[in-house]
């Protein structure tokens, strides 16, 4: 655990030279300065983390981690845990939403089933994971990133994981179950109230995890959430920019922000999920979302949807003419 903590607290910064070169070229392009808004910031962000004045999106990888959750036995999801494995099969067959969106985005799709989809412990009665299980899950996430990647999109599949994400968010940022619990895959109001009580029970049981973000992630998280944390960490050490997906993915990455003040600087939040806690979590992490499409699916769908936006931003930066080239008058 201490090696992981050290890896989370000693993080490389972005490439300031690449960022500056991008700003310098941007100022010469045939548009009013700043007129491409966040697209300009996205190019600078990509280049600063890729260490390139000419950011590329040739190799975009979507990784979905799948895991099961013991807390499902508390009736926190309208769906049975067996759907996790069935959806892993559906990903392999090309039938899920993410298969379609990843194809449109020009991204490869990789699915990593965690621990043979064996569930974690029910965290209302015991820590979700012991140290070894947690560290193995973080390592699996780390290993799934690969080397020659220009952009990593992260997502998850795991029935019950909006409960784990809400518990993790509460453990890291405070508040009670009702502040973070949402409808997930379709709970009604009574179901959300029950889910909030289940989260409160978990928070009470693991209060001793206190302010150690890794202990909170181990006790209240899940296997696929730990893997996402490992993947975000690996990407940082390899300077690969990351698009985070919805509520679950954001909560999974959050411990790194709690361990290092700029721990998530190499990530962009692709969208604001309709899941109730996501807006507050995004604010707590100072991660303004790119898209707001009322998605509440997970699977990295929101992350993959933002890839074409990044492609457009890069195309503008690399392909636009300068004022001098086009013979367009600069401002007087």
Residue ranges in contact with ligand RBZ by CB under 6 A: 77, 79, 83, 87, 156-163, 184-185, 297-299
Residue among 248 and 310 whose Cβ is closer to ligand RBZ:
248
How many helices, marked H, and strands, marked E, lie in the chain?
A: 16, 5
Place of tokens 């809400």: 166
Cβ at position 27, least distance to ligand NIO in Å: 37
Per the listing, tokens 């503008």 go with 316
89 catalytically annotated: no
Convert residues 156-175 into a mask of x (bound to ligand NIO by CB under 6 A) and - (unbound). Answer: ------x-------------
Task: Give the E-state strand segments of the chain in sequence order.
Answer: 60-66, 107-113, 151-157, 242-244, 267-269
Q: Alpha-carbon distance 260 to 190, whole Å?
A: 38
Q: How far is the CB of 137 from ligand RBZ (least distance, A)?
A: 16
Cβ of residue 160: shortest distance to ligand RBZ, in angstroms?
5
Q: Which is nearer to ligand NIO, 171 or 246 (CB)?
A: 246
Residue 30 makes contact with ligand NIO by CB under 6 A: no
Nearest approach, Cβ of 144 to ligand NIO (angstroms)? 18
Residue 247 partner contact from ligand RBZ, ligand NIO, none using kind-dependent CB cut-offs of 5 to 8 Å: ligand NIO
3-class secondary structure per residue, 57-126: CCCEEEEEEECECHHHHHCCCCCCCHHHHHHHHHHHHCCCHHHHHHHHHCEEEEEEEHHHHCECCCCCCC
Of 132, 134, 153, nearest in space to 144 by CA:
153
Q: Which residues bind ligand NIO (CB under 6 A)?
A: 162, 184-185, 245-249, 273, 275, 278, 296-298
Residues that are catalytic: 299
């Amino acid at each position: 655990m201490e090696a992981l903590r050290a890896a989370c607290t000693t993080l490389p910064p972005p490439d300031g030279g690449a960022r500056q070169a991008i700003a310098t070229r941007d100022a010469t392009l045939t548009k009013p300065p700043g007129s491409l808004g966040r697209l300009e910031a996205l190019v600078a962000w990509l280049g600063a983390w890729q260490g390139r004045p000419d950011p590329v999106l040739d190799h975009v990888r979507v990784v979905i981690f799948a895991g099961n959750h013991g807390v499902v036995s508390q009736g926190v999801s309208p769906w049975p845990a067996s759907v996790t494995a069935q959806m892993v099969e559906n990903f392999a067959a090309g039938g899920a939403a993410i298969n379609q969106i990843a194809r449109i985005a020009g991204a490869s799709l990789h699915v990593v089933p965690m621990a043979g989809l064996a569930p974690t412990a029910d965290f209302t009665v015991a820590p979700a994971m012991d140290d070894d299980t947690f560290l193995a899950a973080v390592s699996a996430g780390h290993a799934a990133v690969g080397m020659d990647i220009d952009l990593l999109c992260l997502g998850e599949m795991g029935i019950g994981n909006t409960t784990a994400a809400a518990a993790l968010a509460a453990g890291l940022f405070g508040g009670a179950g009702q502040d973070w619990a949402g409808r997930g895959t379709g709970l009604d109001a009574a179901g959300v109230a029950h889910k909030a009580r289940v989260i409160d029970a978990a928070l009470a049981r693991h209060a001793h995890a206190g302010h150690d973000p890794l202990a909170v992630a181990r006790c209240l998280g899940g296997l696929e959430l730990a893997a996402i944390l490992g993947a975000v960490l690996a990407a940082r050490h390899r300077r690969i920019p990351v698009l985070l997906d919805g509520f679950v993915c954001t909560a999974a990455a959050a411990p790194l922000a709690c361990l290092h003040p700029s721990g998530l600087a190499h990530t962009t939040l692709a969208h604001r999920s309709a899941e109730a806690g996501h807006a507050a979590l995004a604010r707590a992490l100072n991660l303004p979302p790119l898209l707001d499409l009322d998605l509440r699916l997970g699977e990295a769908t929101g992350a993959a949807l933002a890839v074409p936006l990044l492609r457009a931003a890069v195309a503008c930066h690399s392909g636009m003419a300068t004022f001098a080239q086009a013979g367009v008058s600069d401002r007087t």
